[in-house]
Amino acid sequence: MSQMTAKPVAELGRRPRVAVVGGGFAGVNAAQALGKLPVDVTVLDRRNHHIFQPLLYQVALAVLSPAQIAQPIRTIVSGNANTEVLMDEVTGIDSRARKLNLVSGAVIAYDYLILATGATHSYFGHEEWAKYAPGLKSIEDATEIRRRVLLAFELAERHKLEHGWHPPLDFVIIGGGPTGVELAGAISDIARLYMKHDFRHIDPAMARVLLIEGSPRVLGSFPEDLSAKAQKQLEEIGVKVWTNKHVSEVGPGYVMVGDERIEAVVILWAAGVAASPLGRMLGAPTDKRGAVIVDQQLNPEGLPDVFVCGDLAHFEQDGHLVPGVAQPAMQMGRFAARAIAADLEGKPRGNFRYFDKGDMATIGRLAAVAKIEWPFKAHWGGFMAWVTWLVVHIYFLIGFRNRLTIFATWAWTYFSFRDGARLITGDQRLSGWDELTRESAQDPAKSVPGQEQVPPIEPLTQEPVGVAAGKSGK
């Protein structure tokens, strides 16, 4: 594929305009790097904030608040005099005319386009499952998961007080990648450690967590020894792991695994992702996920003025697909800016090469796995991996305030065994709860085993207590 040269740029007679679509890791890093170039930059995103996605699950499980892992995009690029930010959504791309159509009706012209809109959930053709099993990609997803998880305990407490029993607190996570593993470990932690003194009628530690993975092992992108360590650590904190199991149906309060019905108060989805639909608007070749196939300069076929970065890019290196995680996305964004700088100077762009520093996943309190590639090679599990995970994630957060507040929150959580963002907002109904309570009432064996039954709460008398007391006092 031919590379763009400086000649067309020089003939513009004006500063080139760069459109950056997406405020994730790739988009933000590209925008920051472009701030130093003689170009005009427009950053477009349908949300006004950048999310530090590796910590999104901690918002979902009430350890952190949304503001601690999110930063306004305007604030991030406020030091770039050449950059403007538009909160809008792209509905069409005319790559020949170099124009973007926006949902607001506006049209944005560009000389260079950096597409970095990431990925979304994939339910493998069963989109109806989404209302029963939410995924985790946004702040809205995280607060919805938090609502469901915390509400399950609250409803169990209320039901125990009113009826003397409650349905089992069973949680099912579908998908054993990093997100699924982290969600499973965090749910186990809050049930066993952080809420054990908060309820009077239920024992949160009786909650059971099941992690279902369709492949032979969890964390399939990690080396086999780390996958084994991850599964062992999960099982040590009470998480049941099923591998080589495929979900055939998801409904209100249940999951079907083959012919087996698994009942659950909360079901979470971490099994599949699909690239943003924006990639197909280019008309360039895509893979089965919808990711755009790019060359060594991150350009789709025949579009040297378009760079596709992050989860939206299908980029192979040394015969392997580069993973859709934060580090490659950040490096891709910065490479796109360097390629544009090379064009402006009339120099060759060079090729993108992902520098893999390693990968890690946290499993719970004091438990994690880490594949370290730089500055040395190591496979760690347990406490050392957990400490490394903490340090790395604080380091890569954007904004000193976020680093400081998250460090303080983690320290408080570690020493006090209390979470700081355990808030339930929105609807106080839980999908599947009515079905579970009805089935448990019909079959008492399905109620929580091993807990002392309490008598149901007595209804109020016809005469309020306060009135009776008032009469007796006269």
- Nearest-angstrom CA–CA distance, 69 and 141: 14
Nearest CA to 406 out of 23, 59, 28 is that of 59
The 10 Å CB-count burial string (b at 16+, else e) for 264-297 is bbbbbbbbbbbbbebbebbebebeebbbbbbeeb
- Catalytic option among 84, 140, 154, 182: 182
Please confirm, yes or no, whether 182 is among the known catalytic residues: yes
- Nearest-angstrom CA–CA distance, 313 and 396: 22
Sign of the dihedral through C-alpha 185, 189, 195, 201: positive
Please name the residues in contact with 108: beta carbons below 8 A apart, sequence gap of 6 or more: 19, 42, 44, 86, 99, 100, 102
Query: Can you name the residues that pair with 256 across neighbouring β-strands?
Result: 249, 261
Residue whose tokens read 């570690």: 414
Distance of CA 83 to the CA centre of its chain: 27
Please name the residues in contact with 229: beta carbons below 8 A apart, sequence gap of 6 or more: 369, 381, 382
- Nearest-angstrom CA–CA distance, 30 and 452: 58
- Nearest-angstrom CA–CA distance, 176 and 345: 46
Please name the residues in contact with 56: beta carbons below 8 A apart, sequence gap of 6 or more: 69, 136, 137, 138, 139, 141, 142
- Nearest-angstrom CA–CA distance, 77 and 87: 14
- Are 266 and 134 a contacting pair, CB within 8 Å? no
Strands 99-102 and 313-314: unpaired
Residues carrying an active site annotation? 182
